[in-house]
């Protein structure tokens, strides 16, 4: 409740142009914005935070297991990925609280309860999506490279191709940073020299400390690229609830912050949750000159806190596909630990971390 009040106060402050600078600068000095999205809606009725935590965690286990078992780009994967991402954002502010400690988690992977399903559907605007609903046909953004596929409720999902990579080649990507408490810095240490990576950052995390981190990313030869200003919108809705103009405004202020801090305009764009309407994506490509980028290996690194389990999952996914654009998050301790081991594992097993420039050539080439 307290967080919600502070957030809405800051958001309205941000609406005033004269206060915008002060607003940016306030971001890194406190921890309010370590959560990516505005505070969750008040739980229905008299639900306790512990009960909400249990409900979200049980549903997250269900959906992340489902996403892990399906191939990225398939309908089952996209639906599970979206639901799980929503639940992850809701759990983040509750993690580490008394609610988390007192929660009793039902681990039998039963179907999530009706209230949780309704919440997920409402967030993505899935409404009364029917089982045999008519989905729009896919829209090709660049043949073999990027396609918008429609999933439940006609949600447009960016599906990435990686045919431009040879077997054994990987591109490493890190979302939702920068973290200003050492996690991103650890990734930069592990990836120094041999593993140029793309960091898809959030504008709302680019206060002075955040800008110092991305300056360091760029100085070390990594790509600092566009994710969004917020992970969802200011109103806590995904990009698909925005007009194209609103999407461009959101990305524009994030691009400006990146350029100011690093001296270089961002080269890539990955929409939060991977969802964006084709016309908004095309407009972003034209306006900012970015290459759209999804992923082809989803480590689901937020679904477990156990680094050993995550390392096994990640390496088995990469081995299965033999190459890929790997999605991780430099905001979770387990991801950062696994990344360090992964860099070594890739080298020991004949994989090559390629410069993300390869993707720009694939997108721009004929
Ligand atoms: Zn993200």
Q: What's the CA-to-centroid distance between 178 and ligand 1, angstroms? A: 11
Question: In this structure, are 188 and 292 located in the same domain?
Answer: yes
Which residues are paired to 146 by β-bridges? 142, 160
Q: What's the CA-to-centroid distance between 97 and ligand 1, angstroms? A: 23
Percent of the chain with pLDDT strictly greater than 90: 58
Better-predicted residue by pLDDT, 30 or 129: 129
Q: What's the CA-to-centroid distance between 332 and ligand 1, angstroms? A: 12
Question: In this structure, are 207 and 355 located in the same domain?
Answer: yes
> Measured between alpha carbons, how far is 104 from 141 in angstroms, rounded to an integer?
45
Q: What's the CA-to-centroid distance between 138 and ligand 1, angstroms? A: 23
- Identify whether the C-beta of residue 110 lies closer than 8 Å to the C-beta of residue 61: no
Nearest CA to 202 out of 122, 97, 273 is that of 273
Q: What's the CA-to-centroid distance between 88 and ligand 1, angstroms? A: 11
Q: What's the CA-to-centroid distance between 346 and ligand 1, angstroms? A: 24
Question: In this structure, are 54 and 154 located in the same domain?
Answer: no
Q: What's the CA-to-centroid distance between 168 and ligand 1, angstroms? A: 26
Residue 23, pLDDT score: 35
Q: What's the CA-to-centroid distance between 114 and ligand 1, angstroms? A: 26
Question: In this structure, are 95 and 242 located in the same domain?
Answer: no
pLDDT digits (tens, 9 = 90+) for 256-310: 999 999 999 999 999 999 999 999 999 999 999 999 999 999 999 988 889 999 9
Better-predicted residue by pLDDT, 44 or 208: 208
pLDDT digits (tens, 9 = 90+) for 113-157: 888 888 888 888 886 555 567 889 999 999 999 999 999 888 999
Q: What's the CA-to-centroid distance between 202 and ligand 1, angstroms? A: 8
User: Is residue 304 left, alpha or beta, with left meaning phi > 0 and alpha meaning psi from -120 to 50?
Assistant: beta
**Number of alpha carbons in the 13 Å side-chain half-sphere of residue 291:** 20
The domain boundary, picked from 89, 124, 159, lies at 124
Q: What's the CA-to-centroid distance between 228 and ligand 1, angstroms? A: 8
Q: What's the CA-to-centroid distance between 273 and ligand 1, angstroms? A: 6
Count how many domains the chain has: 2
The domain boundary, picked from 73, 92, 124, lies at 124
Nearest CA to 300 out of 335, 346, 254, 347 is that of 335
Residue 30, pLDDT score: 32
Question: In this structure, are 74 and 43 located in the same domain?
Answer: yes
Q: Is residue 10 part of a domain?
A: no
**Residue-range definition of the domain harbouring residue 289:** 139-364
Q: What's the CA-to-centroid distance between 227 and ligand 1, angstroms? A: 7
Q: What's the CA-to-centroid distance between 45 and ligand 1, angstroms? A: 30
Q: What's the CA-to-centroid distance between 46 and ligand 1, angstroms? A: 31
Q: Is residue 293 part of a domain?
A: yes
Question: In this structure, are 43 and 189 located in the same domain?
Answer: no
Question: In this structure, are 175 and 36 located in the same domain?
Answer: no
Q: What's the CA-to-centroid distance between 207 and ligand 1, angstroms? A: 18
Q: What's the CA-to-centroid distance between 231 and ligand 1, angstroms? A: 6
- Assign 233 to helix, strand or coil: coil
Question: In this structure, are 354 and 259 located in the same domain?
Answer: yes
Question: In this structure, are 106 and 222 located in the same domain?
Answer: no
Q: What's the CA-to-centroid distance between 250 and ligand 1, angstroms? A: 15
């Amino acid at each position: 409740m307290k967080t919600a009040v502070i957030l809405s106060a800051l958001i309205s402050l941000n609406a005033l142009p004269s206060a915008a600078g002060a607003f940016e600068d306030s971001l890194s000095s406190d921890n309010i914005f370590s959560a990516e999205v505005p505070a969750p809606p008040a739980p229905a009725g008299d639900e306790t935070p512990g009960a909400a935590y249990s409900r979200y965690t049980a549903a997250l286990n269900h959906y992340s297991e489902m996403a892990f078992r399906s191939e990225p780009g398939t309908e089952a994967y996209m639906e599970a990925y979206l639901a799980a991402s929503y639940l992850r954002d809701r759990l983040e502010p509750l993690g580490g609280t008394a609610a988390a400690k007192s929660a009793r988690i039902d681990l039998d992977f039963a179907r999530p309860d009706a209230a949780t399903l309704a919440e997920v559907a409402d967030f993505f605007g899935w409404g009364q999506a029917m089982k045999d609903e008519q989905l729009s046909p896919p829209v090709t953004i660049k043949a073999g490279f990027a396609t918008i596929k429609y999933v439940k409720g006609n949600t447009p999902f960016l599906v990435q191709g990686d045919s431009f990579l040879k077997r054994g080649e990987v591109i490493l990507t890190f979302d939702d940073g920068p973290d200003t408490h050492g996690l991103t810095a650890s990734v930069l240490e592990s990836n120094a020299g041999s593993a140029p990576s793309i960091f898809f950052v959030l504008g709302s995390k680019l206060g002075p400390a955040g800008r110092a981190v991305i300056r360091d990313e760029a100085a070390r030869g990594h790509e600092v690229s566009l994710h969004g200003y917020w992970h969802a919108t200011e109103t806590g809705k995904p990009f698909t609830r925005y007009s194209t103009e609103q999407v461009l405004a959101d990305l524009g202020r994030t691009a400006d912050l990146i350029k100011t801090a690093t001296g270089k305009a961002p080269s890539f764009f990955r929409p939060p949750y991977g969802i964006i309407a084709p016309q908004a994506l095309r407009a972003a490509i034209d306006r900012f000159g970015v290459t759209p980028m999804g992923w082809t290996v989803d480590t689901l690194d937020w679904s477990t806190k156990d680094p050993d389990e995550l390392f096994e999952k990640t390496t088995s996914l990469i081995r299965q596909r033999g190459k890929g654009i790997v999605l991780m998050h430099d905001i979770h301790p387990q991801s950062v630990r696994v990344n360090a081991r992964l860099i070594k594992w890739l080298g020991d097993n004949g994989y090559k971390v390629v410069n993300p420039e390869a993707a720009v050539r694939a997108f721009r080439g004929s």
